Amino acid sequence: MTRYSAWNVIKNGLTGQKGWDRAWRDPEPKESYDVIIVGAGGHGLATAYYLAKEHGIRNVAILEKGYLGGGNVGRNTTIVRSNYMLPGNTEFYEFSVKLWEQLSHELNYNVMFSQRGQIVLFHSPAARDAAAKRANTMRMNGIDAEMLSRDQVRERVPHLDFSDRARFPIQGAILQKRAGTARHDAVAWGYARAADSLGVDIIQNCEVTGVLREGGRVTGVETTRGVIKANKVGLAVAGNTSRLTAMAGLGRMPIETHKLQAFVSEPLKPLLDYVVAYALPGGHFYISQSDKGGMVFGGDLDMYNSYAQRGNLPIYEDVAGCAVALMPCLKRVRLLRQWAGVMDMSMDGTPIISKTPVDGLYLNAGWCYGGFKATPASGWCFAATIARDAPHELNALFTLDRFERGLQIDEKGVGPTPKLH
Ligand SMILES: Cc1cc2nc3c(=O)[nH]c(=O)nc-3n(C[C@H](O)[C@H](O)[C@H](O)COP(=O)(O)OP(=O)(O)OC[C@H]3O[C@@H](n4cnc5c(N)ncnc54)[C@H](O)[C@@H]3O)c2cc1C
């Protein structure tokens, strides 16, 4: 595999760009593997990479029904942050941010991680108290957080609506400076290239249609390209989790599939240096500006269950209303594109990285709105769980059976209502 380096860019520039290898191979599936990962999204690719790199398990296949990176990893608004409060979440998401900070070097691929900072607004004295509690908890856990006054927010983001007529008057915000955005496709491609170079087979256009079991143990999978045997199978299929777990006979899961839309505007000159978000009973919105100038934004789920990767019109209206309420200057900006992904919403809003009741079958799911930022830590922990057949300390609380044992990790405090998490 040719390394990406300044020297190789110059050398290939002078020699007709003939010295580059393909970023990853296109292998035929083998009859059997030590580990099969289902789903070549961010989590599946990262898991395979860390299995090979950290645990020396290289006889690994990733099976993807479409093309790698065609699911949520390539559809999200790319916000990376670690502003969590509850035990389990705080250390996991902070570990993820630390992996992000090294990821481009680790993968020898520029994932364009931009720590531009995230500003989460609040709009009432009660919300200020809640924000202060969150910021203090973060700091006590060694995670950076600052409280900003209304004037400090205005200095940083002058285009927000600070007028007397503002629909949601801004009273202040929490700033996490180390939060930011990354290039979503590059994360998928970087992990794919690095995993492939360690010998992992990435098999695209290979849909898993059945999970094979003998007694209480998994033995492989049925696919559109035939049966493939494996000692261990890890599921990392995001919004398709309930389909795959049904194939494995796991019964009803504490997961619902919902769709989430994102939007990007025509490119603008630099307007917004931060990621900005707000969440209120009357509106939920997050926005950043991409390196190409497009305003990238989104809001709530579509609020009905579906596996279809497309959204409905009322959410356009809702999100556009939230955008203009926050930044009135956006009202004449034209939308360039819109798309949707299918979210694996869990009952407590917290992920599952866990063994299952079937020996050799492992589950990575329940990422709700926020799985992109978790990609490195999720892959790291899922790989450890599969390799050792026991959870890593960072995902010890993310078990599947926590719902039976009443040990939910409900960051939002909205109870078992997946669409509200
Ligand atoms: C619009 C939108 C905005 C978002 N914004 C953010 C954000 O700002 N920050 C953040 O942290 N998170 C965000 N998310 C969430 C994040 O994108 C997801 O939680 C995360 O990407 C899910 O993990 P993944 O990358 O592995 O999923 P995916 O990329 O969806 O990977 C799952 C893969 O499994 C494959 N698959 C499914 N069934 C089968 C089968 N039977 N056989 C083989 N393959 C199969 C799919 O084709 C897919 O490629 C957003 C999501 C969306 C949709």
Question: Which ligand 1 atom is nearest residue 79's CA?
Answer: 8
Is residue 240 lining ligand 1, measured as CB closer than 6 Å? yes
C-beta of residue 34 within 8 angstroms of C-beta of residue 303: no
Distance (angstroms) between ligand 1 centre and the Cα of 369 equals: 10
In this predicted structure, what is the pLDDT of residue 320? 95
Is residue 78 lining ligand 1, measured as CB closer than 6 Å? yes
Is residue 93 lining ligand 1, measured as CB closer than 6 Å? no
Is residue 376 lining ligand 1, measured as CB closer than 6 Å? no
* Residue ranges of the chain whose pLDDT lies below 50: none
Is residue 41 lining ligand 1, measured as CB closer than 6 Å? yes
**Other Cβ atoms closer than 10 A to 39:** 28
In this predicted structure, what is the pLDDT of residue 346? 98
In this predicted structure, what is the pLDDT of residue 281? 79
Distance (angstroms) between ligand 1 centre and the Cα of 41 equals: 6
Q: Which residues pair with 277 in a beta bridge?
A: 120, 286
Nearest CA to ligand 1 atom 50: 76
- Global pTM? 0.98
Distance (angstroms) between ligand 1 centre and the Cα of 341 equals: 7
In this predicted structure, what is the pLDDT of residue 280? 86
In this predicted structure, what is the pLDDT of residue 268? 98
Find, among 140, 52, 136, 93, the residue nearest to 397 by Cα.
93
Distance (angstroms) between ligand 1 centre and the Cα of 192 equals: 15
C-beta of residue 352 within 8 angstroms of C-beta of residue 223: no
Is residue 366 lining ligand 1, measured as CB closer than 6 Å? no
Q: Could you give the count of Cα atoms lying within 13 Å of 98 in the half-sphere of its Cβ?
A: 11
111-176+257-343, what's its fold? D-Amino Acid Oxidase; Chain A, domain 2 (3.30.9)
Is residue 220 lining ligand 1, measured as CB closer than 6 Å? no
Question: Which ligand 1 atom is nearest residue 63's CA?
Answer: 43
Distance (angstroms) between ligand 1 centre and the Cα of 149 equals: 35
Distance (angstroms) between ligand 1 centre and the Cα of 157 equals: 30
Q: How does 230-255 read in b/e, with b if 16+ C-beta sit within 10 Å?
A: bbbbbbbbbbbbbebbebbebeebbb
Pocket test for ligand 1, best of 224, 257, 372 (most atoms within 8 A of CB): 372
Question: Which ligand 1 atom is nearest residue 344's CA?
Answer: 19
Is residue 44 lining ligand 1, measured as CB closer than 6 Å? yes
Is residue 371 lining ligand 1, measured as CB closer than 6 Å? yes
Is residue 39 lining ligand 1, measured as CB closer than 6 Å? yes
Nearest CA to ligand 1 atom 37: 237
Is residue 238 lining ligand 1, measured as CB closer than 6 Å? yes
Is residue 29 lining ligand 1, measured as CB closer than 6 Å? no
Return the domain boundaries, the chain: 25-78+184-256+348-420, 111-176+257-343
Which long-range contacts (C-beta less than 8 Å, at least 24 apart) are formed by 240-246? 240/39, 240/307, 240/342, 241/344, 241/363, 241/365, 241/366, 243/307, 244/38, 244/208, 244/211, 245/356, 245/363
Is residue 223 lining ligand 1, measured as CB closer than 6 Å? no
In this predicted structure, what is the pLDDT of residue 283? 85
Is residue 72 lining ligand 1, measured as CB closer than 6 Å? yes
In this predicted structure, what is the pLDDT of residue 282? 79
The hierarchical CATH code for the domain 25-78+184-256+348-420 is: 3.50.50.60
Is residue 187 lining ligand 1, measured as CB closer than 6 Å? no
Distance (angstroms) between ligand 1 centre and the Cα of 159 equals: 32
Query: What is the CA 417 to chain-centroid distance, rounded?
Result: 20
Distance (angstroms) between ligand 1 centre and the Cα of 145 equals: 28
Q: Cβ neighbours of residue 338 under 8 Å, at least 6 residues apart? A: 261, 262, 263, 264, 311, 316
Question: Which ligand 1 atom is nearest residue 341's CA?
Answer: 53
